[in-house]
Structures are given as structure tokens and as C-alpha cells.
Chains A and B, each alone.
Chain A
């Protein structure tokens, strides 16, 4: 069964600090991996997308890494801000042919940035 596991489940950090969120997946075949940010009461918004051949991708203060061999990904947030408080969801796509567009979602890491 395709699964995406994330850790930690929740995290509290001080404003200005860095943090790293982890994602392990068992989805096969693998097409791409996305990290989404979901603010409370809102839909998820894509931060980064990586395919099999990419091992790092940055979007401002967000940097995602991918190790396709170990099936692990991380999302590193630099110099955190209060607005980074949200759930971060790792999503893996196993098929990009157009015939099956289901994504496997992780349960997310709930990040709280405090003063």
C-alpha cells in the first residue's frame, strides 16, 4: 500500500530559528514529490515539486531535498517567521501519465512559530 509518513507530528520553534521536517514514502512507481503549506481553514498551497532526478529545490526560505534511493524527503525552513505557522504536507505522486491522478498525502507536520 502506498504510504507517506511525516515527522514530527507537531513542532514549536522560536521566530528566527531554522527547522527541518521529514517525509518518508513507500509510493511506487514514483513520479514526483511536493511539499504543501496549509494554513488553518485554507486549502493546501504548493511550495516545491521535485522529480526523481532532482535532489534539492528552493523556494525562498524553503528548501526541499529528495533522496529517491532511500525514499526520503525533507523540508528545511530558514529564519522562521510567525507566518510560517501552518501544517506542512508531503505529497507523493506515483503516476504522471494522465490516467491516474491520485496523490498520496502525508498527515502533515503542524508547525507553530512563536515569539
Chain B
């Protein structure tokens, strides 16, 4: 596609529920990144994929967070047993490869009630 797309744009869920956030990177971009941005803060790194594999998942806050990229294109960020503190905008970015400019999607705003 022309840019990175993310769905849904907004997600409201209840504490304890499971959510999936989807990212469609720019076609041909092998690197994909997930970030979390709290209100008034800069994005915080969560996980980085090179192809299908998670090359760096050191930013995932705990084991409730998991991400996959089974075919090296679309990625899904999965959050189990959501907590109110998970409320944030989740940004996805992709790049031609590691070290190249990252292009960001519009984000998914997650609200946990």
C-alpha cells in the first residue's frame, strides 16, 4: 500500500479482555516495529521484526504482550488480560530494513475501561 495502515483506529475494551491490533506495513518493507505512546509522551519501543522473526522484543512490558508476523508482512500485536494502564496509542512503523527510515502508521488508540 501507499503507507502503513493500522486497524482498528480506535479500540475500547474492558479490563481483563483480550485485544488484537493489526499493522499492514508498506509493501516490500522487511522491518516492522511496534511502539506504545502514552498521552504527552514520545513513543516507546515494544518489539522489532526483521522478516517473520522478532529480532528484538526487549521493549515488551510483560508476558501479556505478544506480537506475530507469520508471513513477514502483516503483524498483529496481541494483549491478554488488558489493564487500564495499557491504555495508549499503539504505533506501528516499517522500513526497508534495519537502520533505514521508519514510516509510521496512524496508530490504534486503545482504551481499557
Interface residues of A (CB under 8 A from B): 4, 31, 34, 41-46, 49, 89, 91, 93, 96-103, 105-108
Q: Are B104 and A101 in contact (CB under 8 A)?
A: no
Nearest-neighbour CB distance to chain A for B99, whole angstroms, equals: 4
Would you call the interface of chain B mostly helix, strand, loop, or mixed? loop
Size category, B interface: 20 to 34
Would you call the interface of chain A mostly helix, strand, loop, or mixed? loop
B46 closest partner in A (C-beta): A102
1/0 contact trace for B92-112 toward A, CB 8 Å?
010101110111111100000
Query: B85 on the interface (CB 8 Å rule)?
Result: no
Residues in B with CB closer than 8 Å to A105 are: 42-44
Interface residues of B (CB under 8 A from A): 4, 31, 33, 40-45, 48, 55-56, 58-59, 91, 93, 95, 97-99, 101-107
Residues in B with CB closer than 8 Å to A91 are: 42
